[in-house]
């Protein structure tokens, strides 16, 4: 089938590549000329395991096209995926300007029946707004009632995880499709069914529902996951106070199948481009409908405070004035296997250390360039602080002569480091671990002063 993907970010690029991989003819559009140039020169503008190799192969076989040509993109695909960003507006609601601009373009150039798919995470009711925008454009072109220019808007939210996006797309737990039940809606559903048929070969994974429920499902899923994390973070803060070990508690409750082990890790808070903005947007949708989502308000508050928990531990151990101290920071991206720095906890922790006068030497396996870019923006009002952070390309360089090691992302390569070398490299053997990677008892036996989240500090 001929598919157009609008937006070549984390979701659009992975969706486009995976649909091309299973045999579809895919046209990827972006307004960002820089991204399109990188893609046309054989590169990939984001880090996502497996993606670069897949795209190189697809390009070589002519199965995927990257372009900024809006008219050609609309004319290409009978299915038009909208996968543009929906960042938070000032009031927390989802900013739909990019979604609506993409919709306008479809209306402006469409040349036959189109299935318009909202793949971006959009608030309940957005499909109706997309429909109205497309209809207005068609009316302006004099095609208001043209059967040849009919269309239907489908909601098909994306559940992939950055860092495992290709795998998640290729082996989805479920595919959610929300469609209207009029003639165009049922035709759109049939086309979506054909499109995703290869993913349903062994068992049916697609859940069909009405459009509003599909839109809501995405927010409810992210809100639930964010709630589990904030719940565990609250428990960890109490564990710190009562002398319990949150890791033991995690195993103790995760073994109950009604609870399960996933998403039960305490740490320095969740980040990324989805949980923070989607929780905020759902709270906002509720308030627009005269309702309060009190649990989610608390989930947000807890997460905001959690990003400072490790800094408070550092202050308790080393004092509030950290001038003259140097911290080695391992891990900058909001989670492993991605270079995404959106809402990463490292941004808050590093800014807090710098604000207390410290120097920071930061290392990340893939997010260094992105970290350098976003921290320069975060710290533009405090140029002096910015001069005290440097970015290094090995774990060892970060450690050399530092006062302590601070761990902020659970990259695999941090899980079993050479503790003897760490001890030798640091000025004094102190680790502040925001991801609970090590065992407090083992650290004490190695003579390392080890502080984790919700875990005992063993002397």
Binding site for ligand NAD (CB under 6 A): 6-12, 29-32, 35, 83-86, 98, 101-102, 120-121, 158, 160, 162, 273-274
What's the rounded Cα separation, in Å, for the pair 183 and 190?
11
Gyration radius from the chain CA atoms: 24
Beta pairing class for 430-433 and 404-407: parallel
Distances (CA, A) of 229 to 89, 213, 223, 296, 302: 24, 24, 10, 12, 10
Specify the residue, 87 or 198, whose C-beta has the smaller distance to ligand NAD: 87
Supply the minimum distance, in Å, between the C-beta of residue 71 and ligand NAD.
Answer: 12
Phi first, then psi: give them for residue 208, nearest 5 degrees. Answer: -95, 140
Specify the residue, 6 or 166, whose C-beta has the smaller distance to ligand NAD: 6
Alpha helices in 24-81 (DSSP H): 33-40, 51-60, 70-76
Specify the residue, 10 or 363, whose C-beta has the smaller distance to ligand NAD: 10
Supply the minimum distance, in Å, between the C-beta of residue 271 and ligand NAD.
Answer: 12
Supply the minimum distance, in Å, between the C-beta of residue 434 and ligand NAD.
Answer: 21
b/e code 55-84 from CB counts within 10 Å (16+ = b): beebbeeebbbbbeebeebbebbebbbbbb
What is the 3-class SS of 197-252, one letter each residue? HHHHCCCCCEEEECHHHHHHHHHHHHHHHHHHHHHHHHHHHHHHHHCCCHHHHHHH
Q: What residues contact 204, with CB distance under 8 A and at least 6 apart?
A: none
Specify the residue, 72 or 392, whose C-beta has the smaller distance to ligand NAD: 72
Set 18, 83, 249, 274: catalytic member: 274
Distances (CA, A) of 421 to 39, 74, 203, 429: 41, 57, 50, 10
Supply the minimum distance, in Å, between the C-beta of residue 176 and ligand NAD.
Answer: 12
Q: Of how many residues is the chain composed?
A: 459
CB atoms within 10 A of CB 248: 13
Residue 23, Ramachandran bin (φ over 0: left; ψ between -120 and 50: alpha; else beta): left
Question: Active site includes 274?
Answer: yes
Specify the residue, 4 or 227, whose C-beta has the smaller distance to ligand NAD: 4
By the 8 A CB rule, do 423 and 447 touch? yes
Listed in order, strand segments (DSSP E) in 75-132 are: 79-82, 114-118
Q: Output the residue with the shortest Cβ distance to ligand NAD.
A: 9
Q: What residues contact 258, with CB distance under 8 A and at least 6 apart?
A: none
**Residue list for the binding site for NAD(+):** 30, 35, 86, 121, 162, 277, 342
**Residue list for the binding site for substrate:** 159-162, 218, 263-267, 271, 335
Counting Cα atoms < 13 Å in the Cβ hemisphere of 49 gives 13
What's the rounded Cα separation, in Å, for the pair 86 and 123?
10
What's the rounded Cα separation, in Å, for the pair 276 and 366?
22
Specify the residue, 191 or 342, whose C-beta has the smaller distance to ligand NAD: 342
Specify the residue, 160 or 360, whose C-beta has the smaller distance to ligand NAD: 160
What's the rounded Cα separation, in Å, for the pair 459 and 443?
9
By the 8 A CB rule, do 195 and 3 touch? yes
CA nearest neighbour of 76 among 154, 2, 151: 2
| Residues involved in catalysis | 274
């Amino acid at each position: 089938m001929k598919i157009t993907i609008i937006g070549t970010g984390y979701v659009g690029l992975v969706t486009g590549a995976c649909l091309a991989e299973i045999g579809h003819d895919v046209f990827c559009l972006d307004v960002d000329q820089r991204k399109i140039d990188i893609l046309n020169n054989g590169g990939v503008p984001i880090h996502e395991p497996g993606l670069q190799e897949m795209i190189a192969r697809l390009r070589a076989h002519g199965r995927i096209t990257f372009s900024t040509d809006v008219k050609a993109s609309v004319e290409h695909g009978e299915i038009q995926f909208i996968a543009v960003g929906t960042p938070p507006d000032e009031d927390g609601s989802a900013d739909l300007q990019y979604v609506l601009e993409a919709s306008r373009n479809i209306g402006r150039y469409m040349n036959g029946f189109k299935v318009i798919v909202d793949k971006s995470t959009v608030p309940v009711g957005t499909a109706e707004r997309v429909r109205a925008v497309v209809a207005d454009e068609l009316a302006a072109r004099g095609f208001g009632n043209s059967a040849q220019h009919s269309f239907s808007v489908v909601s098909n939210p994306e559940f992939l995880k950055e860092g495992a996006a290709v795998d998640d797309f290729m082996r989805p737990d479920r595919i959610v499709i929300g469609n209207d039940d009029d003639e165009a809606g049922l035709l759109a559903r049939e086309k979506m069914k054909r499109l995703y048929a290869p993913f349903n070969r062994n068992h049916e994974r697609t859940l069909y529902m009405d459009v509003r429920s599909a839109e809501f499902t995405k927010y409810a899923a992210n809100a639930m996951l964010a709630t589990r994390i904030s719940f565990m973070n609250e428990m960890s803060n109490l564990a710190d106070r009562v002398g319990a070990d949150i890791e033991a508690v995690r195993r103790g409750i995760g073994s109950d199948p009604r609870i399960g082990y996933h998403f039960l890790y305490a740490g320095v808070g969740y980040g990324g481009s989805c949980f923070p903005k989607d929780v905020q947007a759902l709270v906002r949708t509720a308030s627009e409908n005269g309702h309060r989502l009190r649990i989610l308000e608390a989930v947000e508050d807890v997460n905001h405070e959690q990003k400072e928990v490790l800094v408070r531990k550092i202050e308790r151990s080393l004092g509030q004035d950290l001038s003259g101290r140097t911290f080695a920071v391992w891990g900058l991206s909001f989670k492993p296997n991605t270079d995404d720095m959106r809402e990463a906890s490292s941004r808050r922790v590093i800014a807090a250390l710098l604000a207390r006068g410290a120097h920071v030497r930061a290392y990340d396996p893939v997010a260094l360039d992105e970290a350098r870019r976003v921290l320069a923006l975060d710290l533009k009002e405090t140029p002096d602080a910015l001069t005290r952070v440097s970015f290094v390309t090995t774990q060892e360089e970060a450690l050399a002569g530092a006062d302590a090691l601070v761990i902020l992302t659970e990259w695999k390569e941090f899980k079993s480091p050479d503790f003897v070398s760490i001890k030798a490299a640091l000025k004094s053997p102190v680790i502040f671990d925001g991801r609970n990677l090590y065992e407090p008892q083992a650290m004490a036996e190695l003579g390392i002063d080890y502080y984790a989240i919700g875990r005992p500090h063993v002397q």
